[in-house]
Chains A and B, each alone.
Chain A
Amino acid sequence: MATQFVDHSALRVNQTGIVATVLVAFIGSAFYRPLLVLIPLLAVVLLLGTFAPQLALFKQIYFKVLKPRGIVRPRPVQDRPEPHNFAQGLGGVFLVVSSVFLLPVPVLGLAIALLVAVLAFVNLAFGYCLGCQIYFQLGRAGLIKATPSSGSGTV
């Protein structure tokens, strides 16, 4: 299968959106508790975006606003979108779990949301994608159909 191009600027805008939303919910809820609703909303945004990319809010902001106006430059990289979508979906699932605990055990709910933000930040700042590594491990274990790369050989 031919390798596609993924615009990494869209991924970075997505990660920035996740970090910013969680931080606003985390810090803001100390002063105005209803801001906690941002966490379940973010979970919905991430899960929707995983299964229907046209509904990925932050990526759409990039494609419809930031990129056309030249605010963020595109950065196409030869890559596959599946691991990134998987990582986003995993983030969404963790935020659902976080949302479940937000009211009965707020410390646990906030801690899980904070971890999602930390992982998004690590990906944004250092390029390390934990979800992509999990995708690789699941592919090796045969639990998901990970496509082998273009081949082995001498470079």
Chain B
Amino acid sequence: MAAQLWALVAAGAVVLAAAGLELWRSRHARARAVGVPVALAGEPQPQAAPYILYFTGESCTVCRTHQEPALAKLVGVRIDKVDAIAERELSDRFHVYTLPTTVVMSSEGRSLHVNYGYAPTRKLERQLADARGVPLGATVTA
């Protein structure tokens, strides 16, 4: 029984450490990805309205089962679907380390909010509203 208890403690410690590492990693990546322009060279191209960069890939099941239905509920929002493996340079620029990743871009063409992992519709709507009404880089949400 003692071995089982110690194994439980050890596995719990690993899970907690992994969760902490993931939290740190997402915050670190987000801090570097916010404010990044989407244009490959020169000044970012101004757009008519904020839009979403949606990083996905063939290996991403959550993209199909959760993220795409959530994105489909956003009415009148341009969503640029990006293959994270094929578009390596772009995904590196936004520090995409997990799929799905959604980036809310301002109409000036810079990233305002970056969501690593599944982002529900309500969260994206809140971020889009923020992108429409708040100056660039004013807020960063988790």
Residues of A whose CB lies within 8 Å of any CB of B are 3, 6, 8, 26-27, 29-30, 77-80, 82-84, 106-111, 114-115, 118, 127-129, 132-133, 135-137, 139-140, 146-149, 151-155
Contact = CB atoms under 8 A, between A and B. Distances in A.
A114 B65 contact: no
Given A26-B7, A110-B4, A118-B15, A136 B86 contact: no
B82 interface: yes
Contacts, number: 114
B58 A155 contact: no
A109 to B, nearest CB: 8
A152 B60 contact: no
Tell me the interface secondary structure of chain B in the complex.
mixed
User: Which bracket fits the contact residues of B?
Assistant: 35 or more
Interface string B63-107: 011100001000000111111111110010000011100000000
B23 interface: no
A79 B64 contact: yes
B3 A107 contact: yes
Contact of B4 (A30, A84, A152): A30
B57 A149 contact: yes
A42 to B, nearest CB: 16
29 contacts: A8-B65, A26-B4, A27-B4, A29-B4, A30-B1, A77-B64, A82-B59, A83-B58, A106-B7, A108-B7, A111-B6, A111-B7, A115-B11, A115-B15, A118-B15, A132-B60, A132-B61, A133-B98, A136-B57, A136-B99, A139-B57, A139-B85, A140-B91, A148-B57, A148-B58, A148-B85, A149-B56, A151-B86, A152-B81
B57 to A, nearest CB: 5
Interface of B: 1, 3-4, 6-8, 10-11, 14-15, 54, 56-62, 64-66, 71, 78-88, 91, 97-99, 117
A20 B66 CA distance: 26
Given A82-B59, A154-B81, A155-B81, A108 B10 contact: yes
Contact of B61 (A26, A115, A127, A151): A127
Contact of B59 (A77, A106, A115, A146): A146
